[in-house]
Structure 1
């Protein structure tokens, strides 16, 4: 069992098949040596910048700068909250994420259901607000956003299958196909362990 755990916690896709690989830093990592990340195969990184309407990763600018100095491309992540209005969330995002042409397109994590809100947010209302939010952050960044729906969110709403935006899908060790369209980014191991990061980190690959 210990050998199996070690293999799974250190597994990453073959670099010959997927030459462009990276990490997603949520801001909850205990310690990171960003200059060492390229040495373990990470050529880009996404960094959580904002969550919902009021939470921000204050280390986001510093982390992006360190990635740039290490020769890595970096991009912002917003974790979407269906219980809060679009303009509140976009204001939170633009407060921490600068306009920067060198940055990767913004990514939006879609995981929470409107059914969990009080009052409940119906699917049509959720989609309407989400589209407003996407338009607002795309105007700010000058780039089309990448959608990162969880399998459960996609099963409930099917938004990723219908949206005219690239997809970031997640499934440990096996390619995901739950959105019915090809992914552009794949979280191939949500808890890989690499030397430059203390504790687990999400390992990403870009479609060749």
Structure 2
């Protein structure tokens, strides 16, 4: 129990740091964004550029990556697709996390959850394919409805969803020593997660409006604000995200979570 409480402390500190109002910033104009976007969205006064820490999430579809260019552009973190369901591994996962590590970019793997196999089968698959040294930041559980899947369009009831993903996350936390981050979309969150998992970090997708609009009453740690960003060193569109806290919050949090599971 003492260890569990110590794991939750960085979360409490982070969420407290994210409650500052945007009134503390200049609001006369939206600053020029540091990254180009083929389909930019005007978020008004709550523009993601107000957040100093930006990162990306990638999979094999990003192809060859010039990691030094990515690092030089100001990208501070990368979430890398590792596994999907109980039998798929991203072809470039091992390459990407090793190269991110060499470039000095904090990284973490993510798992795309399928509701057509059990939480234990998927946890076993993730653990089998993701070594502990590929886990600098906490692991990410990607949960969303996948209406276009050719193999799994199952939509369990909300209670079943919560039981399954909790089991999966418990397995990962026990093995890696880091509490997982939950990535989700607006509709999946509304259907299954609103009001639950308050002691987990959330990474939310919201590409048209600010998360305070689309995820009411949900504190968030990461915000995916576009899927059409252009990052130096990567060909084609890339998801871009921001961290909720300040630059100092970021460095403090990374120092804490990097140490967990490595001692």
C-alpha contact 1:100 1:141 (8 A) present in aligned 2: no
Number of residue pairs the alignment of both structures matches: 198
Change (3 A) 1:174 1:7: farther
1:100 aligns with 2:100: no
TM-score, length of structure 2 as denominator length = 0.69
1:182 aligns with 2:215: no
* Counterpart for residue 161 of structure 1: 195
2: CA distance between counterparts of 1:174 and 1:38? 28
1:64-119 CA-partner distances (Å, limit 9, x unpaired): 111111110000111111221001111111122111386101111111279932xx
* Counterpart for residue 71 of structure 1: 104
2: CA distance between counterparts of 1:92 and 1:186? 27
- In structure 1, which of residues 169, 185, 191 is the aligned counterpart of residue 228 of structure 2? 191
1:87 aligns with 2:124: no
TM-score, length of structure 1 as denominator length = 0.86
Deviation at 1:204, TM superposition (A): 1.1
Within 5 A, what are the aligned runs for 1:1-208? Answer: 8-9=37-38, 13-14=48-49, 17-100=50-133, 103-112=136-145, 116-117=153-154, 121-157=156-192, 159=193, 161-163=195-197, 164-172=199-207, 174-177=209-212, 178-179=214-215, 180-208=217-245
* CA-atom RMSD in angstroms: 2.4
1: CA distance between counterparts of 2:138 and 2:207? 23
* Counterpart for residue 18 of structure 2: none
Looking at secondary structure, tell me which structure has more helix per residue: 2
Deviation at 1:198, TM superposition (A): 0.9
2: CA distance between counterparts of 1:189 and 1:121? 28
Gaps of 5+ in 2: 1-34, 41-46, 246-263
C-alpha contact 1:21 1:42 (8 A) present in aligned 2: yes
2: CA distance between counterparts of 1:184 and 1:166? 6
2: CA distance between counterparts of 1:97 and 1:160? 29
Whichever of the two has the greater Rg, that structure is 2
C-alpha contact 2:185 2:206 (8 A) present in aligned 1: no
Gaps of 5+ in 1: 1-5
